Amino acid sequence: MSSGQLKAAGMFREFGPVRSAEPQESIFDSVAEEELPDLTQVVSYLNSGHVLIDVMDVANDAFDSTRQVMNGSTVVTDGDWLWRKDLAYYVRRHRVTLPEDFLDLIRERDYVVPARGVPELTACSRQARDLMFWNS
């Protein structure tokens, strides 16, 4: 795990506020013109993150209210980045972009989320809780 604060990806303002020094982007401003050339591997990586905060929910797709996303608010990590579980869905279905440094890291790791121990994941969990539940 990198030292310091975890970086967050896909924490768009449409999904609710988070505690961050950076302003939250809109998901609608984060759509690529073309599909990633390694889309399947990137989505697999996003789906393989370690679950930190497991949320049972159903939400309407932000782009298509006739579709729903299950458990999208679940927060996962690779030990360096945090993201919501539905980010994989949005990357696959709507070409939502990832930060370049996150995408570079995914590719450097050959699309494999590294194993993390309980102490590391506990520390990540605290950071995720502080980011996601800042009103509590």
Q: In the prediction, which pLDDT does 30 show? A: 95
**Which of 82, 87, 89, 88 is closest to 132 using CA atoms?**
82
Model confidence over 24-38: pLDDT tens digits? Answer: 899 999 999 999 999
9 has which bridge partners? Answer: 83
Residue 38 amino acid letter: D
Answer yes or no: are the C-beta atoms of 99 and 106 closer than 8 Å.
no
Cα–Cα distance, 2 to 119 (Å, whole number): 13
CB of 82 closer than 8 Å to CB of 75: yes
pLDDT digits (tens, 9 = 90+) for 56-81: 999 899 999 999 999 989 999 999 99
